[in-house]
Amino acid sequence: MKEPCAHCGEECTKGVIAIEDKSFCCDGCKTVYQILQDNDLCQYYGEGETPGNTVRNEAYYDKFDVLNDHDTARLFTQFSDGKIQKFTFKIPSIHCSSCIWLLEHLNKINPKIISSEVNFQKKEVLISCDKHITLKDVAILLSSIGYEPSLNVSENFQKKSNFKLILKIGVAGFCFGNIMLFAFPEYLGLDDQEFSKFFAWLSFVLSIPTLFYAGSDYIKNAIDSIQQKYVNMDIPIALGMITIFGRSTYELITDIGPGYFDSLSGLVFFLLVGKWFQQKTYDTLSFERTYKSYFPLSVNVEQNGIKVQVKLESLNVGDVVYIRNEEIIPADGILLSDNAAIDYGFVTGESDPIEGTRQGIIYAGGKNRGTEIKVQLTKKPDSSYLTQLWNKDDNPSKDSVNTLADAVSKYFTFAVLFITLGTLLFWLIADPDKIWTSVTAVLIVACPCALALTIPFTLGNSIRYLGRKAIYLKNTFVIEKLAKVNSIAFDKTGTITKLNSKNIHYHSLDNTSLDQYNSIIRSIAQNSTHPISMSISKFLNNSELINISDFKEIAGSGVEGTYEGKRYRLGKMNHSEDGNVGFFIDGSLVGYFIIEPSFREGVAELNRRIDHLGLKQHLISGDSEREDQAVSEMLKFSNKKYRVTPPEKKDLIQSIQKNHEIVAMVGDGLNDAGALSQSNVGIAVSDDVNYFVPACDVIIDGKSVKYLDKLIRFSRINMSIIRGGFLLSFLYNIVGLSFAVSGTLSPIIAAILMPLSSITVVAFTSVSSRLAYHRLFDKN
Amino acid sequence: MSIIFMLTGVSLLLAIGFLGAFLWAIRNGQYEDDYTPSVRMLFEDSKKEKKSNENKNQKQ
């Protein structure tokens, strides 16, 4: 067991750097510790155990240059008056209470910062400072203590959540409560005419803001949908609300009775609460990402021989840009440096870096691994190979999904209008005096409050439950789409296998054990950034590091080094299968590593269970066939495709859809982005949901992939619950309508029936979705 | 009995006052972040701050 780093808590695998009694895994962590120590901020470590973030990469502070640009800086700035400026940074690495503590004590490190305030859920920090310090300085300060701000502007603009809705709920709740108080004497049989009139007028006054402020959205939506000749649930709701208000006002003026203001305010209040319940949002997650979220805000461009920071939008064809190590290439171009290693893992799913040569074409989305390269752009960022995938996602297949609510409300609305008309005709013949009361009563009772609450409460609950299992849905409609899914397409790398971890075995050819060589192998492998070398070095991380001389990395072949006079090489073997790495001493093979993909936990069982559910399963991988055997042994697919490019993935999904399959795509990288948006439900898998996730409908934590079948079953059960809720509210409507049609609906019956129906429906849906969740997810 | 008319009015005014306070709180962003303040109030740093101030004073 290695000693954990006193700053970040990770094992010190590369040797220990010690100061005083503390040990650190790297210089980065040590530096952060020293900064904190110098500023008397070591209390940071007392709050949690080892809360720090590893500062592993040598930080490239040049990228913050863009913050010196006035327009860019304005995107982050909330307020500036020449003396004080306030701005917000998004910091994805905020994760515990120590983070909050440290980030709120920034003024101790730099007194020019006046104050800083963390919003933990949004992972944001609001910084106020004086004019002598720039945004760039603050960004560098944050990075130097392990909290690098994200410069992706698109993510820095999250709309104010449901601010307006909460205001409306507040107003409606206030009016509802007071109107109920005024209505009680009436319920209990108040005889005093004076009081009852006074209370009725007060109710009238309070119901004005209820209807015209709190309920205004329903009326607006109803008018909109009539104009667009589209029937939805808002029409009977708005019709009911206006009728209640109109009839009650009329009754009040003509001294007939107190009206139905209590029912009206209750209706609006419950509906708004339902709406709010449905709008569960995950503040820190972003489901709508464009390619820009992945690219740097600006790049270094050569202009007249000097490097200038240029914003992404202003890049032009022909510009010569510099891409540093670990930076993403913003647009397609021609390589001007002699060679480069570019990792397209995010674009293609293929995990090995591609070697680029001078004058070769390199594509946007690749990550530079190695020294700085020079690239001449041949396309603008928004018309590059990869970004076009994003731009093309104006596909109709997603929006045209008819939701159950739409279908039901269409029939419902027509039925209501039909019954109203029937009542009108009947009383016209039987007793014209009763037309007004009975027709309005029909419209009042038919107001589908309970119906409208069924979906928000069922699905709102479900979204919250799924969140506990680290399954995050974009909105409630996704559940409905999930319930219809009859086919699932999987990406391989990063989805069913883990991205950066492999199963490694060593096979010896000369009966020597690996223990003899593991220090040498690790020391050689450790010098290379090639993923295979990195996984071998990780596999051997318990062995000592030694000094290797004459280290050499031969592109596409392997790595070698000399130790105590012998030449050791790790690399390709002749006539060998892909994926195996040979170990040579002085040119002769002594053994080899078998490198297999490491599957996510529970994938094999998941595969079986999905099969059991009767869903088709497809495998669509951008990787080569070399892991096919391992995959086939464990998993069953009706269809497997390898070496699929990102656009082909999208086309494949399309052809599956043409086959009348409703398909959910499960993928992780940018290479799946097109397929995710083409599929009926895009499910993005991520090991850290706060970082890179392509645009999708569902974000699922890597550990929860095994619940995929349960997610689908849960969605199906939810749809049944909704149907049950609909049935229940129809029953109430029928009872109410029977009163209304016969012209005997009194305010008190309305006042009992409407809340009662809402409450039973809410109770039924909440309890059943809760039971369904426990049965599916908590047992076994 | 006429006092009830007045009391009702007064109570309603009072309630409107509370509604106003609620709306103000929302507009002011008090419900924006319901986690961080619960952590912030447990930070205890007055002692150390004093010490460091003293140190600085001594140095000066």
Least confident span in A143-147, A401-405, B47-51: B47-51
Residue A93 has what pLDDT?
79
Residue A467 has what pLDDT?
87
pLDDT at A145 over 90: no
**Dihedral pair phi/psi, residue A113, rounded to 5°:** -80, 120
Q: Searching chain B, which residue's CA lies closest to the CA of residue A43?
A: B45
A120 to B45: CB separation less than 8 angstroms, yes or no: no
A116: which strand partners? Answer: A127
Mean pLDDT score, A97-103: 83
Question: What is the pTM assigned to this prediction?
Answer: 0.75
Residues A138 and A193 in one domain: no
Mean pLDDT score, B5-24: 91
Nearest-Cα distance to chain A for B19, in Å, is: 7
Q: What is the CATH number of the domain that holds A350?
A: 2.70.150.10
Identify the residue with better confidence: A500 or B54. Answer: A500
pLDDT band at A399 (very low <50, low <70, confident <90, very high): very low
Mean pLDDT score, A370-388: 77
Q: Are A151 and A297 in contact (CB under 8 A)?
A: yes
Q: Is residue A406 part of a domain?
A: no
- Report yes or no: B54 at the A interface, CB cutoff 8 Å: no
Residues A555 and A675 in one domain: no
pLDDT band at B54 (very low <50, low <70, confident <90, very high): very low
Within 10 angstroms of residue A530's Cβ, the number of other Cβ atoms is 23
Identify the residue with better confidence: A150 or A216. Answer: A216
Amino acid at A70: H
- DSSP H helices in A188-215: 193-209
Interface of A with B (CB under 8 A): 40, 43, 97, 100-101, 104-105, 108, 117-122, 163, 166-167, 170-171, 174, 177-178, 195, 198-199, 202
Identify the residue with better confidence: A748 or A762. Answer: A762
Q: What is the CATH number of the domain that holds A576?
A: 3.40.1110.10
pLDDT band at A100 (very low <50, low <70, confident <90, very high): confident
B39 to A174: CB separation less than 8 angstroms, yes or no: no
pLDDT at A2 over 60: no
State which of A14, A33, A58 marks the end of a domain.
Answer: A58
pLDDT at A250 over 70: yes
pLDDT band at A292 (very low <50, low <70, confident <90, very high): low
Mutual angle of helices A435-446 and A234-253, in 10-degree steps? 140
- Report yes or no: B15 at the A interface, CB cutoff 8 Å: yes
Residue A556 has what pLDDT?
62
Q: CB under 8 Å to A649, separation ≥6 — which residues? A: A491, A620, A622, A671, A672, A674, A675
Least confident span in A149-158, A415-424, A439-448: A149-158
Distance CA A330, CA A312 (A): 8
Mean pLDDT score, A119-145: 85
Identify the residue with better confidence: A235 or A552. Answer: A235
Mean pLDDT score, A446-468: 86
Give chain A positions within 8 Å (CB) of B22: 170, 174
User: Among A459, A465, A460, A504, which residue's Cα sits nearest to residue A483?
Assistant: A459
Give chain B positions within 8 Å (CB) of A122: 33
Nearest-Cα distance to chain B for A84, in Å, is: 20
pLDDT at A281 over 70: no
Of A100, A105, A178, the CB nearest to B36: A100
Q: Is residue A183 part of a domain?
A: yes
Mean pLDDT score, A232-255: 89
Digit-coded pLDDT (tens) for A634-689 = 888 888 888 887 778 888 998 998 988 899 999 876 678 778 888 889 998 887 66
Residue A721 has what pLDDT?
94
Residues A271 and A194 in one domain: yes
Of A119, A121, A170, the CB nearest to B22: A170
Paired tokens of A148 = 């690098």
pLDDT band at B52 (very low <50, low <70, confident <90, very high): very low
Long-range own/partner contacts, residues A630-637 (CB < 8 A, 24 or more apart): A630/A596, A630/A597, A631/A492, A631/A496, A631/A597, A634/A599, A634/A603, A634/A604, A634/A607, A635/A496, A635/A603, A635/A604, A635/A607, A636/A607, A636/A608, A636/A611, A637/A490
A40 to B4: CB separation less than 8 angstroms, yes or no: no
In Å, how far are A44, A201, A630, B10, B13 from B3, measured between CA atoms? 61, 18, 86, 11, 15
User: Among B5, B6, B12, B8, which residue's Cα sits nearest to residue A174?
Assistant: B12
Give chain A positions within 8 Å (CB) of B26: 163, 166-167, 170
Residue A488 has what pLDDT?
93
Residue A249 has what pLDDT?
93
Q: Is residue A213 part of a domain?
A: yes
User: Among A394, A448, A456, which residue's Cα sits nearest to residue A695?
Assistant: A394
Nearest-Cα distance to chain A for B49, in Å, is: 9
pLDDT band at A68 (very low <50, low <70, confident <90, very high): confident
Paired tokens of A387 = 């970004």
3-class DSSP state of A620: strand
Distance CA A87, CA A181 (A): 47
Q: Is residue A386 part of a domain?
A: no
Residues A148 and A202 in one domain: no
Residues A623 and A643 in one domain: yes
Residues A612 and A690 in one domain: yes
Residue A1 has what pLDDT?
46
Is the alpha carbon torsion for A183, A185, A188, A189 positive or negative? Answer: negative
pLDDT above 90: percentage of residues in chain A: 15
- Report yes or no: B14 at the A interface, CB cutoff 8 Å: no
State which of A123, A141, A156 marks the end of a domain.
Answer: A156
Most confident of A431-435, A536-540, A758-762: A758-762
B48 to A121: CB separation less than 8 angstroms, yes or no: no
Q: Are A656 and A468 in contact (CB under 8 A)?
A: no
How many domains are there within chain A? Answer: 6
Q: Is residue A389 part of a domain?
A: no
pLDDT at A722 over 80: yes
Residues A590 and A621 in one domain: no
Paired tokens of A239 = 């019709």
Q: Is residue A591 part of a domain?
A: yes
Residues A463 and A611 in one domain: yes
A742: which strand partners? Answer: none
Identify the residue with better confidence: B14 or B44. Answer: B14
Residues A27 and A144 in one domain: no
Give chain A positions within 8 Å (CB) of B40: 100, 104
pLDDT at A275 over 70: yes
pLDDT band at A372 (very low <50, low <70, confident <90, very high): confident
User: ∠ at Cα A319 (A318, A321), nearest 5°?
Assistant: 135
Residue A338 has what pLDDT?
80
Q: Assign residue A564 a region: left if phi > 0, alpha if psi is -120 to 50, beta otherwise? A: left
Least confident span in A98-107, A217-226, A239-248, A556-565: A556-565
State the average pLDDT for chain A.
Answer: 81
pLDDT at A400 over 60: no
- Domain interval for residue A614: 458-497+600-716
pLDDT at A441 over 80: yes
Is the alpha carbon torsion for A727, A728, A731, A737 positive or negative? Answer: negative
Residue A520 has what pLDDT?
83
H or E segment to which residue A149 belongs: none
Q: CB under 8 Å to B56, separation ≥6 — which residues? A: none
Residue A223 has what pLDDT?
92
Q: How far is CA A450 from the centre of its chain?
A: 31
Of A120, A166, A177, the CB nearest to B26: A166
Distance CA A428, CA A436 (A): 10
Residues A507 and A364 in one domain: no
Domain ranges for chain B: 2-59
Residues A174 and A115 in one domain: no
A560: which strand partners? Answer: A552, A569
Residue B58 has what pLDDT?
45
H or E segment to which residue A686 belongs: strand A681-686
What residue has token string 């209370």?
A199
Label the pairing between strands A558-563 and A580-585.
Answer: unpaired
What residue has token string 């209706």?
A267
pLDDT band at A574 (very low <50, low <70, confident <90, very high): low
- Report yes or no: B48 at the A interface, CB cutoff 8 Å: yes
Of A100, A108, A170, the CB nearest to B40: A100
Least confident span in A137-141, A249-253, A548-552: A548-552
Give chain A positions within 8 Å (CB) of B23: 167, 170-171
Residues A492 and A568 in one domain: no
